[in-house]
């Protein structure tokens, strides 16, 4: 076989004149992102986790309702199924009858003290006349509304805050309060009986409620026993659960990692003391330790975070010590010691960064564990108070209504908790594979 040499200066036809092969630069972050993206399941979990975090962080701005503002919900909407429309709020009219002259009719406009977004009674006019009777005096009232048929859709009618001694001639009186309940027919024309010698003004309130719904607000996931929107309550619950899980995880990581590094670097009695405490901590079930701590500390967000820190720090300490024992025997640690660097600089500037990958993996798993543990404590009634929503507390609130068919009160918060924990675990499992050098191809 003969090889023909090309003339000096000739260019091969297979390669362009100015073709220059540039080496592909792969940064550590890019390599990490490419390895992580190899798993579609992990990417799906990451998207779920990002969505959960966004919903939890921005809950006050995206939630349809503030479920813990007592003025923003009513018990009339309690336990509505998913997809129900909000019932109209009660309209309250203040009525003030000044000193009336017998036989002289007076027409007054009732002042509305509660103005819902879509009132079902636009205007209310009351004609009053004082009539002398054998037992005293009566004020006979005739009520007209705008629109005229507004009274047809009323559910309940109540007359409140009548002066002492003043009673209605119709309706049903409350057993302990000066409160009267009327029917729709009674409201159109009724009378107020005054005691003998009564010469003061008469004022009262008319509370009108209806069974009509407000189409401008829909409870897509139903309501709970207090009438709160379940979708809004779950958004606020995610915010609280994520906050408790992340805060307790960060503090536990700092404490456990510091103790683990100290035990691995110094060794001897220091290591023995720290690791025996870790063994003692891990010998008890986490839920049992948390229960005992909260039984002593009481309920509260800060108490739950403290209990979770005490429960979790030992996991970080053991993981960090294991990684630090491996790194301590490597050459760069000996070089740092030969340079006469301080112990704390060697620990936190050289040893710590190389121990982070396994600790990060444990951290993601422990955050999910902390969220589940907080939900368990709240479900048992010793975790967060009622004024601080969490997914576990929402599940607990609906547990008594499961057998009554009100499944949504517990099921939907339970699904939200499940999605959150699964998303965190999917991300943590992929992080373990990516950051473990033994699994690198």
- The pLDDT tens digits of the residues spanning 142-169 come to 888 888 787 777 888 888 888 888 888 8
What number is the average pLDDT over the span 251-278? Answer: 92
Q: Which residues pair with 144 in a beta bridge?
A: 125
Which of 252, 331, 341, 235 is CA-nearest to residue 289?
A: 252
- The architecture that CATH gives domain 89-211 is Sandwich (2.60)
Average confidence (pLDDT) over 347-364: 87
Query: Can you give the pLDDT at residue 77?
Result: 85
Average pLDDT of the chain? 85
Residue range 120-129, pLDDT digits in tens: 787 888 888 8
Q: What is the pTM of this model?
A: 0.75
DSSP assignment of 1-55 equals --PPPPPTT---TTS-TT---PPPP--HHHHHHHHHHT-HHHHHHHHHHHHHHHH
Neighbouring residues of 323: CB distance < 8 A, sequence distance ≥ 6: 354, 355, 357, 358, 359
Residue 48 confidence (pLDDT): 95
In tens, the pLDDT along 45-58 reads: 999 999 999 999 99
Q: Which helix (H) or strand (E) holds 384?
A: none
Q: Which residue has the higher pLDDT, 382 or 2?
A: 382
Q: Is the pLDDT of residue 223 over 70?
A: yes
Q: What percent of the chain has a predicted confidence (pLDDT) above 70?
A: 91
pLDDT for position 19: 52
Q: Compute the distance between CA of residue 160 and CA of residue 48 in angstroms, rounded to an integer.
A: 51
> How far apart are alpha carbons 317 and 330 in whole angstroms?
21
Return the percentage of the chain with pLDDT > 90, whole number: 36
Say what the pLDDT of residue 238 is.
94
For the residues 196-207, what does the mean pLDDT come to?
Answer: 83
Q: Give the fold, CATH level 3, of 50-55+222-439.
A: MetI-like fold (1.10.3720)
Task: Record the tokens describing residue 301, joined without a space.
Answer: 């967000």
- The position carrying tokens 């709020």 is 89
| pLDDT over 50 at 4, yes or no | no
Give residue-wise pLDDT tens across range 229-247: 999 999 999 999 999 999 9
CATH 2.60.210 in the chain, residues?
89-211
Asked if 122 and 148 touch (Cβ cutoff 8 Å), the reply is: no
Rounded CA separation 255/71 (Å): 42
| Strand order through the sheet with 202-210 | 111-112, 91-97, 202-210, 154-160, 180-182, 172-173
Look at residue 441 in the predicted model and tell me its pLDDT: 52
Q: What pLDDT, on a 0 to 100 scale, did the predictor assign at position 113?
A: 66
Average pLDDT over residues 355-375: 91
Q: Could you give the CA distance from residue 363 to residue 257 in angstroms, rounded to a whole number? A: 11
Query: Where does the pLDDT of residue 340 fall: very low under 50, low under 70, confident under 90, or very high at 90 and above?
Result: confident
Token pair recorded at residue 184: 């729709």
Asked if 154 contacts 208 with a C-beta cutoff of 8 angstroms, the reply is yes
Whether the per-residue pLDDT at 438 is higher than 70: the answer is no
Q: Which residue has the higher pLDDT, 25 or 7?
A: 25
Tell me the three state secondary structure of residue 105: coil
Rounded to an integer, what distance in angstroms lies between the CA atom of residue 11 and that of residue 17? 7
The yes-or-no verdict on residue 387 having pLDDT over 80 is no
SS3 69: coil
* Alpha-carbon gap, residue 238 to 389, rounded angstroms: 8
Out of 93-97, 115-119, 165-169, 422-426, pick the least confident: 115-119
Q: Return the closest-CA partner of residue 315 out of 336, 289, 286.
A: 286
CA–CA dist 97, 200 (Å, integer): 9
HSE-up (13 A, CA, CB side) for residue 52: 26
Task: Give the confidence band of 178 by pLDDT, cuts at 50, 70, 90.
Answer: confident
Indicate whether 254 pLDDT > 90. Answer: yes
Question: Can you give the pLDDT at residue 21?
Answer: 60
| In the chain, ranges of CATH 1.10.3720.10 domains | 50-55+222-439
Res. 106: pLDDT tops 90: no
Kindly tell me if the per-residue pLDDT of 38 is higher than 60: yes
What mean pLDDT comes out for the span 95-117? 76
């Amino acid at each position: 076989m003969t090889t023909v040499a090309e003339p000096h200066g000739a260019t091969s036809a297979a390669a362009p004149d100015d073709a220059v092969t540039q080496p592909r630069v792969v940064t550590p972050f890019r390599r990490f992102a490419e390895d992580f993206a190899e798993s579609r399941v992990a990417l799906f979990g990451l998207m779920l986790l990002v969505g959960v975090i966004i919903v939890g962080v921005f809950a006050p701005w995206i939630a349809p309702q503030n479920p813990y503002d007592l003025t923003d919900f009513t018990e009339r909407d309690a336990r509505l199924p998913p997809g129900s429309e909000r019932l109209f709020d009660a309209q309250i009219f203040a009525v003030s009858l000044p000193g009336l002259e017998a036989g002289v009719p007076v027409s007054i406009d009732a002042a509305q003290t509660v103005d819902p977004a879509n009132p079902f009674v636009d205007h209310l006019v009351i004609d009053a006349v004082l009539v002398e009777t054998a037992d005293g005096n009566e004020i006979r009232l005739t009520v007209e509304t705008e629109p005229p048929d507004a009274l047809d859709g009323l559910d309940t009618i109540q007359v409140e805050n009548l002066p002492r001694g003043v009673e209605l001639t119709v309706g049903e009186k409350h057993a302990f309060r000066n409160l009267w309940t009327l029917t729709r027919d009674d409201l159109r024309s009724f009378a107020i009986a005054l005691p003998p010698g009564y010469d003061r003004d008469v004022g009262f309130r008319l509370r009108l409620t209806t069974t009509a719904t407000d189409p401008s607000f829909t409870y897509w996931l139903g309501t709970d026993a207090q009438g709160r929107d379940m979708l809004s309550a779950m958004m606020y619950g995610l915010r609280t659960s994520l906050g408790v899980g992340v805060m307790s995880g960060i503090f536990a990581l700092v404490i456990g990692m510091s103790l683990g590094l100290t035990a691995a670097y110094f060794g001897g009695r220091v290591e023995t003391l720290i690791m025996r405490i870790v063994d003692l901590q891990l010998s008890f079930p986490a839920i049992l330790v948390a229960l005992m701590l909260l039984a002593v500390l009481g309920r509260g967000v800060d108490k739950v975070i403290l209990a979770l820190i005490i429960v979790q720090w030992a996991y970080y300490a053991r993981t960090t010590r294991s990684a630090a024992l491996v790194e301590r025997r490597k050459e760069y640690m000996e070089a740092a010691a030969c340079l006469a660097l301080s112990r704390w600089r060697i620990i936190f500037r050289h040893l710590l960064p190389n121990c982070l990958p396994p600790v990060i993996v444990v951290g993601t798993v422990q955050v999910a564990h902390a969220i589940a543990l907080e939900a368990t404590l709240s479900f048992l009634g010793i975790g967060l108070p009622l004024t601080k929503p969490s997914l576990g507390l929402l599940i607990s609130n609906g547990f008594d209504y499961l057998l009554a068919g009100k499944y949504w009160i517990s099921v939907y918060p339970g699904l939200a908790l499940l999605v959150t924990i699964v998303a965190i675990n999917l991300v943590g499992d992929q992080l373990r594979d990516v950051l473990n050098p033994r699994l690198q191809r």
